[in-house]
Structure 1
């Protein structure tokens, strides 16, 4: 369900004109494959190349959910980054940073922030609108998010409804 929420939010970010900020979260580490190194890698990507975060995230999702690959292996992380369009040198540099206190602390900060919103599972979407914060849990809450944004819900694949998108 996290993957579904991720894909829908990525598809709608330009349609709704929202500032989508993806945050790797420690809860996934505990509940799924023990992917701490992958979460640190995504944190490093976000810190150094935030414009690449969506594609690298998608490639890691594909590794684990479509090809059943071990995303804790350095080669899997490097391959995902390269497939997303990152150079080998960039990806290797980020992989080296996952053991640094700066990256580790940033991931801890992200995790603590999710606790502040009382997040209890994934996916969690936090919307900051007109001075208010709204926490939505579940990939089935996109229609509610569109209501909060004052936007139109066109289903999980908006281009299927409007091919011009």
Structure 2
């Protein structure tokens, strides 16, 4: 396959993400901005970043002292460049209370109920990202509490009744197991962190059940590979703010 020569009417992008990763937020927002422009069939697959690291022997960047000190600067610069309303690293970041498991289970429940390509899932992802990373960094955010999950769902436009249903569903073994399977699937095909994108250049749907990632899918890691992605797909890259963006 010749670099830059790909062309397809519809391109499927499967984004493996975790709301505990600011770079996953940046990646999702950019994909949403380019969704129509690039004719993307976007699917979001929640995974557990901590489990990805454990399965691959990887570690949080903040655990490397020099990189950890740089992380805050890099996040702030990226957020400003990408136009993301980032307010700073939460005070609980790096502690045991900064565990995205319940958020990821909630997102998995929505994906199971509405589809990995549903607007409800996209909106809730953005809402949770904003609720974690878009508030005053000095404000303590308990992302493991039901109140936090309710607030995120409310900001996403979900009713109280619908939210209660999703939260209840997120505690079911079916959802817990699906999140584990999705995480293992991403790792099996090369993921070692988030965000990770698997890109398929042939139109392909994705049902509410787990779909295999194909060997023909291209993997991209990080939120700073969009120029390469555009080049590989033969698509125009117009920076973080394409003219027809509504975000």
Is the pair's TM-score, using the shorter chain for normalization, greater than 0.5?
Answer: yes
Q: Which one of the candidate residues 211, 217, 225 is aligned to 1:141?
A: 225
In structure 2, relative to structure 1, the CA distance for the partners of 1:3 and 1:51 (3 Å cut) is closer
Aligned 1:12-161 pairs, distance under 5 A: 12-27=34-49, 31=60, 33-49=98-114, 50-67=118-135, 69-130=141-202, 132-159=216-243
Runs of 4 or more, structure 1, over 3 Å off, are 28-32, 162-165
In structure 2, relative to structure 1, the CA distance for the partners of 1:163 and 1:8 (3 Å cut) is closer
TM-score by length of 2: 0.61
Q: With a CA cutoff of 8 Å and minimum separation of 6, indicate the structure with the bigger relative contact order.
A: 2
- Runs of 5+ in structure 2 lacking a partner? 1-22, 54-59, 61-93, 203-213
- Runs of 5+ in structure 1 lacking a partner? none
Q: Between Structure 1 and Structure 2, whose CA radius of gyration is higher?
A: 2
Between the two proteins, the alignment pairs up a number of residues equal to: 163
Report the RMSD for the aligned CA atoms in angstroms.
Answer: 2.1
In structure 2, relative to structure 1, the CA distance for the partners of 1:164 and 1:118 (3 Å cut) is closer
Residue 10 of structure 1 pairs with residue 44 of structure 2: no
Shift of residue 163, structure 1, vs aligned partner: 7.2
Alignment partner, residue 18 of structure 2: none
